[in-house]
Structure 1
Amino acid sequence: MKRGFRLFFVCLLLFILTIPVSLFADKATENIVSDVVETFDGEDSAYEWYVQGSKFIAEDYPKYKLVDGFPFALYGRAGDGQGHQVLGMQAAFDRKGFNYLEIFPVEEGPDGLVPAKISLPGRVKELDLWAWGSQYKFTFEVHVEDYRGYVYVLPMGSLNYTGWQNLRISIPTYIPQSQVYIPNYRNLKLIKFVLRTEPDENVAGFDFYMDHVKVLTDVFESRFDGDEFVRPETRSQIWPEEEE
């Protein structure tokens, strides 16, 4: 009886040792990198941005543009004279309530500028940015879209503070960023940021600034024979009109 058990155990061990390590590698191996999505630094800005207000936005608002400046906590003295800019905006609403500003990337369409979607690299773990507050009871959120077209609203926190602070959000694990089919990565897309006012807060006129959108992401990919057909640059050459 004992001999039979030992023989079974040895056979089981040999079977486990013959399983390819690659079956487990993707679950255990990560390559975490920091990737800057947008700097808002003038010509170095990766995207064009648009700001629009909700129903009761005051006439001639919102106003927005790139302005000189940067969070000192981000660049320190090394940022002086480097041409750093931030996205600044000024807004006012005609009445208190559930007002909001939408801040989103745009691109040139057939009839002018249209909303764009920023494809985020790898499997995103965290997203953060720098936001300038002025003691108003506002909140800030980011909207992301998965590969199936579902949109998720992720709260980044309150803007009820003074000056620059770093806002950070961990991407929930229930948001899919991969699949069993090749290519495995199914990138998240950044849709927009939204600033919301508390219903009892003063909205007669306020300023807001934001800078340096960044992600912490896992860019590890398993190599296999034929993986060149998965690479975005190869796919865009073979299938130039394929949508992301």
Structure 2
Amino acid sequence: MKKLISVIFTLAAASIAFAQNSSLSDPDPTIIGADSAKQALREISVDKFEIEGSWNASISPDFGVISSRLFDGSPAMKEPVKGEEEAEDSKVLGVKVEFFRRGVNSFFVRSARPIPIEGVTKTVSVWVAGRNMGHSLYLLVQDYFGNNFELYMGNLAFSGWRKMTVAIPPTPDGEHGIIQQSAYNGIRPGLRILGFRIDCDPALARGQYYVYFDALNAVTDLYDVENRDEDDIMDDW
């Protein structure tokens, strides 16, 4: 009987631990690539979508016509990044696609120039209004050595605004995967945001489709940046 009770308590504790760490939509940045206790995690604003022309939308001319512009608005549940409560944040980016016909196609929303993030990025998030269509959203990034990667952020089959978050997987050996830092050159930001790709559900890619973006944020480890000595020599010569 005592053994049975012990097993029950063990299973209960395991289930609670799993429930606390089983959220796929909100990865925990404190445990992503945490090979050392030395971390200085900060949430930073990457882009607020406030400047007209800073983002461009594109689609193959064989699939349809696309346009983008800024609108007044903001997700009601969005909270400002700590320290930036007074910053201008009154716009959202809207993208409109007019499909010629149903089929397998994609469209892109790219930053006018790659957006660098200091430190080692753990997670990237963005608020999206996906209009309850089953299209798939991908984050496009570039690593320290200029290699391009795409990360699946989730399906857009939801109504209203939703904060979508993706974890940046750490490199397993410093030579493969997304590499964000190197001992051979320590002054360059490790990750750059290129934009987004939306893969359309062939059955739903018809007529007009609207999608909106706001508050592109990142959680990044700034330990090396904040603990660099002021009298240290910069390796940029």
Q: What TM-score, normalized to structure 2?
A: 0.72
- Does the CA contact (< 8 Å) of 1:136 and 1:160 recur in 2? yes
Where do 5+ consecutive residues of structure 1 fail to align?
1-25, 107-115, 240-244
Structure 2 partner of 1:21 = none
- Does the CA contact (< 8 Å) of 1:102 and 1:192 recur in 2? yes
Where do 5+ consecutive residues of structure 2 fail to align?
1-34, 172-177
CA distance in 2, matches of 1:223, 1:75: 31
Tell me whether 1:137 sits opposite 2:142 in the alignment: no
Call closer, same or farther: CA 1:157–1:83 in 2, change over 3 Å.
closer
Structure 2 partner of 1:69 = 73
Tell me whether 1:171 sits opposite 2:168 in the alignment: yes
Q: CA deviation at 1:182?
A: 4.5
For residues 181-209 of structure 1, the C-alpha deviation after alignment (integer angstroms, 9 at most, x for no partner) is 34176511111211110122242111110
Which structure has the highest helix share of the two?
1
Amino acid corresponding to residue 101 of structure 1 in structure 2: F
- Does the CA contact (< 8 Å) of 1:123 and 1:185 recur in 2? no
Runs of 4+ aligned structure 1 residues displaced above 3 Å come to: 222-226
- Does the CA contact (< 8 Å) of 1:137 and 1:158 recur in 2? yes
Call closer, same or farther: CA 1:72–1:150 in 2, change over 3 Å.
same
For residues 25-52 of structure 1, the C-alpha deviation after alignment (integer angstroms, 9 at most, x for no partner) is x93311100010111134xx7x711111
Q: CA deviation at 1:75?
A: 4.7
CA distance in 1, matches of 2:110, 2:122: 21
Q: Which has the larger radius of gyration?
A: 1
Tell me whether 1:96 sits opposite 2:107 in the alignment: no
- Does the CA contact (< 8 Å) of 2:187 and 2:234 recur in 1? no
Structure 2 partner of 1:30 = 39
Structure 1 partner of 2:48 = 39
Structure 2 partner of 1:8 = none
Call closer, same or farther: CA 1:202–1:181 in 2, change over 3 Å.
closer
Q: What TM-score, normalized to structure 1?
A: 0.70
- Does the CA contact (< 8 Å) of 2:48 and 2:89 recur in 1? no
Amino acid corresponding to residue 57 of structure 1 in structure 2: F
Structure 2 partner of 1:155 = 152
Q: Map 1:76-225 onto structure 2 (within 5 A).
A: 84-106=90-112, 116-174=113-171, 175-183=178-186, 186-221=189-224, 222-224=227-229
Among 210, 229, 233, the alignment partner of 2:234 is: 229
Task: Name whichever of 199-208 and 128-137 sits farther off.
Answer: 199-208
For residues 98-157 of structure 1, the C-alpha deviation after alignment (integer angstroms, 9 at most, x for no partner) is 222211111xxxxxxxxx211112100000000002121111001111122211110000
Aligned length: 189
Q: Give percent identity, aligned residues only.
A: 25
CA distance in 2, matches of 1:102, 1:140: 10
